[in-house]
Amino acid sequence: MPRTRILHISDTHLGKRQYGSDIRREDFAKAFEQAIEVAVERDVDAVIHTGDLFDDPVPSLPTVMRAADALKPLEEHGIPFYGIVGNHERKNDEQWLDLLRRTSAAARLGKEPTMVGEVALYGIDAVRPSVWDNIDLELEEPPAEAAWTILCMHELLTPLVHGMGRVYPASEVIDRAGIDLDGLALGDLHQPASSVVDGTDVWYASATERGGKDQEETGVVQLLDIDNSGIHRRQIELETRPFAVFEIAFGEDDGATHARDVLERHDLEGAVAKIELSGERAAVTANEVTQMAREAGAAVVSVDDNRGRVDLDVESIEAMSLQGLDGAIEEKLADEDFSTVALDVDQQVRKADELDTNVNRVADTFAESLRDAQREAFDDAGPEETPEGVESLEVDE
């Protein structure tokens, strides 16, 4: 088969104002634009994006327009952009990726094959944890001309990810896909990682920009060269803003001079300075440290002031104190004229052993209780008892 070249990018988080900074929002946009430049320069056959194109399910109009403009070079060079929806940008109705598709700038992958050369691409959007066990992950069979199959997803999967919330076995995904998968291209983990699971290459692209102080391996994209010998990945670094992550530990007599001494040990010119203040409370404030870092050349400064904090041993808190809190709440509720429905909601939230974690089901249950209470209240009231101009309330489904 002839070589097929694909650029895999992920987790661009366009519109993210990290640390409340417009500078960082611009950084995320520029990193995405850099990735598109790599695609054009390397003459790829397609770009795949494995989720979280946007940082928010309701990005601003300028953010959406910036994304569309960034994709124009791909359209001009005949390079398709294929994506899936991540958990950050996921909406309940039409997705922003669909809007970009209408501008011919992007297309959305699905469970049917999309052919790029002799490579069949598939995509499954980020799955809500509440439906994972029952959702259909089965893919359509690839056409006869497909020599390779790659599924794009936005999930945290073992054995590549551990201890990061809800994770699923990659082997389960491969089995439930129902076809022979050669590659599993992933997003959601903001650092590169790879493994081989049940004979399938599994990898994370990483994020194009650094989303947190611990994400030291971000700012990369993956270039895939696919030929008869297999799927070959090459990591390409993007030029991103440097981070300076450090701690200033204060003793009892330390102040501004000590803070400046520590700042001078770090190269802050044009950097994002992520600083933790620890130790004893001192005369210098977090705002003053922020200003010092800016004067030292930092473009963006975020300071966490943890001085003087006391670590509580939660297990040592006596159960009686918790019971006392519940008693105080119930005493206060007794003084108020709350309806039976309101009190029932309070009991459900505070005392239910296993409150359903599905928000929609909980809302439906409470809404039904409210409707029943309304019917009962208005049925009991005769015409002369119902205030003039008052109508029964309807709860939207």
> From the candidates 8, 13, 49, 88, which is the catalytic residue?
88
Task: Compute the average pLDDT of residues 79-96.
Answer: 72
Please confirm whether the linkage preceding 57 is cis (ω < 30° from 0): no
Residue 384: the pLDDT is 44
Q: What is the pLDDT of residues 182-207, one digit of tens each?
A: 999 999 999 999 999 999 999 999 99
The helix or strand, by DSSP H or E, that contains position 327, with its residue range, turns out to be helix 319-334
Distance from the first to the final alpha carbon of the chain:
54
Residue 132: the pLDDT is 94
Q: What is the pLDDT of residues 117-148, one digit of tens each?
A: 999 999 999 999 999 999 999 999 999 999 99
Better pLDDT: 301 or 164: 301
pLDDT level of residue 164 (50, 70, 90 thresholds) = confident
Q: What is the pLDDT of residues 99-113, one digit of tens each?
A: 555 555 688 899 999
Residue 102: the pLDDT is 53
Domain definitions of the chain by residue range:
4-237, 243-305, 314-380
Q: Is the pLDDT of residue 11 over 80?
A: yes
Q: What is the pLDDT of residues 364-384, one digit of tens each?
A: 556 656 655 655 555 554 444
Task: Compute the average pLDDT of residues 8-32.
Answer: 97
Residue burial 346-384, b: 16+ Cβ < 10 Å; e: rest: eeeeeeeeeeeeeeeebeeebeebbeeeeeeeeeeeeee
Q: Is the pLDDT of residue 94 over 50?
A: no
Which has the closest alpha carbon to 245: 216, 225, 222?
Answer: 216
What topology is assigned to 4-237 in CATH?
A: Purple Acid Phosphatase; chain A, domain 2 (3.60.21)
Q: What is the pLDDT of residues 319-363, one digit of tens each?
A: 444 445 555 565 555 555 556 556 666 666 655 555 555 555 556
In whole angstroms, what is the distance from residue 1 CA to residue 223 CA? 18
The predicted model scores a pTM of: 0.76
In whole angstroms, what is the distance from residue 343 CA to residue 341 CA? 5
Residue 365: the pLDDT is 57
Residue 101: the pLDDT is 57
Q: What is the pLDDT of residues 211-248, one digit of tens each?
A: 988 888 889 999 999 999 999 999 999 999 999 999 99
Q: Is-catalytic flag, 88?
A: yes
Q: What is the pLDDT of residues 281-297, one digit of tens each?
A: 888 999 999 999 999 99
